[in-house]
A and B are shown apart, each in its own frame.
Chain A
Amino acid sequence: MAIMDYANPTRFLGLAGRVLPWLAALTAAVLLVALWLAFQAPADYQQGETVKIMYIHVPFAWLAMAGYTALAVSALGILVWRHPLADVAHKAMAPIGAVFAFLCLLTGSLWGRPMWGTYWVWDARLTSMLVLLLLYLGLLALRSAIEDAGQAGRAAAVLTLVGFVNVPIVKFSVDWWNTLHQPASVFRMGGPTIDPSLLWPLLLSAVGFTLLMVTLHLAAMRNEILRRRLRALEARAAAEAAFA
């Protein structure tokens, strides 16, 4: 069966039902090992033990941007291919991405206070990440403000694509402007600048949280399909009652 065949909501439900328990177990296992390794890793020579916050803060930041990129791909699916599953994927990802963006800001703030002496500074990286969170919240608000589901999906897709310009700004803000936030130290030309003893737990943590995001997204997509089926059944029951 071709991968595109799973773009059928009924087939997707079957696939999600089979995959989700395994994915959830794998997520839990990888996260447990990653967090154990993070707490075994040595302290940073400058930051001391506060570097432990990196193992959650950095994956949250990557996934907040990855989640928005997934929203942009879904938005293309809504506007160009008009596929119902693209709208389901878009609607399901928005609250999950918002949570990851919020956690990135929360953990960054708790890391910033002991290292920079402040919880918040209006530098380009922090401000663009806050804009990303506001974009996620804006998408949630927009969907709930428009009653017609199709219209809400198309409006949210347009806002997603307009807001996608912020993703490269978040990524390159530390290169384009003079920021208090440190420059990229993993995905950069010339390779990572982090010592392998800290890098490997970080990468495994990123894999674990990525699995968590995928698991939650699949479960939320399944819920959204069931919600649409329920609405259709309620409408059918109401119509039958009216003509009875």
Chain B
Amino acid sequence: MLGDHASFIVAAYAGSAVVLLGLVLWIAVDGRLLRRSLDEMEARGVRRRSDSRGGRP
């Protein structure tokens, strides 16, 4: 189906998929960890000054 050079086509698509999925996962996990850390800080009573004054989060 992909001809004599199928291995190059498959390698290009598979390699790109792996790298892009890695980037998506890295950004998603980073965001999740940051939110968790911020929630922990809030649970300990540490808030931004704007929150202490009743401002928006």
Chain A contacts to B: CB under 8 angstroms: 10, 43, 48-50, 52-53, 56-57, 60, 95-96, 99, 102-103, 106-107, 110-111, 113-114, 212, 216, 219-220, 222-223, 226-227, 229-230, 232-234, 236-237, 240
Contact = CB atoms under 8 A, between A and B. Distances in A.
Contact of B15 (A48, A107, A113): A107
B46 A237 contact: yes
Contacts, number: 92
B13 A233 contact: no
Interface in B1-22: 1-6, 8-9, 11-13, 15-16, 19-20
Given A48-B3, A96-B23, A106 B31 contact: no
A234 B41 contact: yes
B53 to A, nearest CB: 14
A232 B48 CA distance: 8
B46 to A, nearest CB: 5
B15 A106 contact: yes
A53 B9 contact: yes
A226 B35 contact: yes
B41 A110 contact: no
Interface of B: 1-6, 8-9, 11-13, 15-16, 19-20, 23-24, 27-28, 30-31, 34-35, 37-38, 41, 44, 46-49, 56-57
B41 A223 contact: no
A223 B12 contact: no
A229 B2 contact: no
A226 B27 contact: no
Contacts of B11: 110
Given A103-B16, A103-B19, A233-B46, A226 B38 contact: yes
Contacts of A106: 12, 15-16, 19
A56 B11 CA distance: 12
B57 A10 contact: yes
A43 B6 CA distance: 13
Given A216-B23, A230-B41, A236-B49, 17 more contacts: A48-B4, A49-B1, A49-B2, A50-B3, A56-B13, A57-B12, A60-B16, A106-B15, A110-B8, A110-B9, A110-B11, A223-B27, A230-B34, A232-B48, A233-B47, A234-B41, A237-B46
